[in-house]
Amino acid sequence: MSDLTKEIEKRRTFAIISHPDAGKTTLTEKLLLFGGAIQTAGAVKSNKITKTATSDFMEIEKQRGISVATSVMGFNYEGLKINLLDTPGHKDFAEDTFRTLTAVDSVILIIDCVNGVEAQTERLMEVCRMRNTPVMVFINKLDRPGQDPFTLLDEIEEKLDIKVRPLSWPINIGDRFKGVYNIYNSSLNLFQVNKTNIEDEVMSISDLSDTQLDEFVGEEDANQLREDVELIEGVYEKFDVDEYLKGNLAPVFFGSALNNFGVQELLNSFIKIAPSPQPTETDVRMVEPKEDKLSGFVFKIHANLDPNHRDRIAFFKVCSGKFERNKFYQHQRINKKMRFNNPTSFMAQDKNIIDSAYPGDVIGLYDTGSFKIGDTLTEGEEMHFKGIPSFSPEMFRELVNKDPMKSKQLEKGIQQLTDEGVAQLFTQQPGNRKIIGCVGELQFEVIQYRLKHEYGASCDFTPRNFHKACWLTTTDKDKLTEFVRRKASYVAEDKDGNYVFLAESAFLLRQAEFDYPEITFHKTSEFKV
């Protein structure tokens, strides 16, 4: 086995996704605790990990409204290199999460047992379904009064359109929560409140008829567990790893992340069954991780909010080959060779300059403005990775310059911020009017703040009443010309010069699709022009 193959098989790259407040940051911290990346748990306060738990860089979600970013953390566990991408929970930053999902091979989805499946969870699962991403489910907060576990499983299957298979099962919930039985390896883990350190409290109970079970949890709960497991074995099919890897079946675990409970069962099962780096699709072919030549793509760009440090970091996912520091690679979009003398890895403790990286790794490349989201680096082969679309925004505002003396700064600022994927930029003629499209209100505040503090440009936003932005493609150029002429007030160009129809309502969009069957109206920017 080659060194490259060994490195690939050691890697697991996944994202944690959830509705806000389902316990994502807490679970992230506990996984880092088990990986030895941080030394103490119980430090999650006000949506960030305090500096006693880990370093400044690991403030997982910074103050809301200024920077809500995807964090990348690496740690080693049981001889494997785990790359964990924690995503913003806030719905206004959903697009950042969507793009992060293009860079992972599997997902852990957290569901709050009190609230069940929520709207944001459904949207995130849609993206996983589009890519057939393998999903594990962690049902959290079992130490609080919540819904019946069987009801939750039915709700997951119905709302998220995926079959489930419990691999662990709770012994009661709320105040009477006593522990979790691991169906996958027949072991019992008894619950202790505020268990912040790693302790091995797992007992092997291979046969549920064992009377020891009654001693541990009481006769009533022991009998209920026996009934539940019998029902599970009767109702649900046996767990099939291949079906999980195809994205058709989600194993389900139960626990309380805050109390560090059920997390190790999840992590131990994850490293056994989660996929190593997978092939990635480009516009010309599938790229296999084991290929000798480097390839990869930028899925996120993050600028330092400190105006004294105008650097940007491009988050680069290695898809094949070996990335080497100071080696020249071809930037496909601008057709230019580039080398990087200080690429960084993101470990939980700190950022380190690295000499090499392998498929599955996410590294930081310092960027002076050369990168846009979706850019591809290769060792020369011409190709572009697919699956990193912009979605149709849900809110539209026209950018109004409050200081004509700072027009250049405003122009530069809005170009760079939209390169980062903070929002989408559409230009309307006549007048070169700039329309900003966002998923949520919070993003407009971020743009306004950053334009002022990073570029010295002041702006206002005027609401524009659009329902959706649809990218237009057709083989009939005359029909497209006619459409653009007749709908001039509702047509703009995106940053790449593609025509976009800004529909005022769902009815008018349907009407346009009916009137112009020769034109395809795309809801995302990923299409063949």
pLDDT of residue 2: 84
Query: Tens digits of per-residue pLDDT, 69-99?
Result: 457 788 889 999 999 987 765 565 566 777 8
Angle among Cα 234, 236, 242 to the nearest 5 degrees reads 135
Q: Return d(Cα 126, Cα 122) in angstroms, integer.
A: 6
Strands (DSSP E) contained in 91-222 are: 106-112, 135-140, 163-166, 168-171, 179-182, 187-190, 202-204
Of the candidates 67, 82, 134, 74, the one whose C-alpha atom is nearest the C-alpha of residue 106 is 134
Instruction: Give the pLDDT of residue 192.
Output: 66
Helix/strand/coil for 104: coil
Same fold, 14-80+91-273 and 280-378: yes
Question: In one letter, which amino acid is 252?
Answer: V
Asked if 418 and 412 count as a contact pair (C-beta separation under 8 A), the reply is no
Residues facing 74 on adjacent strands:
83, 347
pLDDT of residue 501: 95
Q: What is the pLDDT of residue 47?
A: 39
Domain 14-80+91-273 CATH superfamily? P-loop containing nucleotide triphosphate hydrolases (3.40.50.300)
- Predicted confidence at residue 313, as pLDDT, reads 83
Count of C-beta atoms within a 10 Å radius of residue 116: 17
Which H or E run contains 95? helix 94-100
Q: Can you give the pLDDT at residue 89?
A: 58
Q: Which residues pair with 493 in a beta bridge?
A: 427, 499
From the number of C-beta atoms within 10 Å of its C-beta (0-12, 13-18, 19+), residue 475 rates as: exposed
At 344, phi and psi to the nearest 5? -120, 150
What is the largest distance, in Å, between two alpha-carbon atoms of the chain? 81
The letter for the amino acid at 199 is: E
Collect all residues with Cβ–Cβ distance below 8 Å to 423 and sequence separation of at least 6.
393, 417, 436, 437, 438, 443, 444, 447
Q: What is the DSSP string of 19-45?
A: STTSSHHHHHHHHHHHTTSSS----EE
- Averaged pLDDT in 10-residue chunks for the chain of 529 residues: 90 89 82 70 41 31 39 85 78 69 92 88 82 93 91 94 92 86 79 55 69 82 90 91 94 89 87 94 93 93 59 88 95 94 71 88 87 91 81 88 90 85 87 88 84 88 92 92 93 91 94 94 70
Contact 494, 391 (CB under 8 A): no
What is the model's pTM?
0.80
- Domain ranges (residues) in the chain: 14-80+91-273, 280-378, 395-522
For residue 216, give every residue at least 6 positions away whose Cβ sits within 8 Å of its Cβ, in sequence order, or none. Answer: 179, 188, 190, 203, 222
The pLDDT assigned to 528 comes to: 46
Rg of the chain over CA atoms, in angstroms? Answer: 25
Tell the CATH topology of 280-378. Rossmann fold (3.40.50)
Cis ω before 430 (30° cut-off from 0)? yes
For 395-522, CATH number out of 3.10.129.10, 3.30.70.360, 3.30.70.3280, 3.10.20.30 equals 3.30.70.3280
Query: The sheet that has 179-182: what strands, in order across it?
Result: 168-171, 179-182, 187-190, 202-204
Look at residue 484 and give its three-state secondary structure.
Answer: helix
Average pLDDT, the chain: 83
In whole angstroms, give the CA distance from residue 44 to residue 25. 7
Q: Rounded to an integer, what distance in angstroms lies between the CA atom of residue 248 and that of residue 344?
A: 35
Are 136 and 108 a contacting pair, CB within 8 Å?
yes
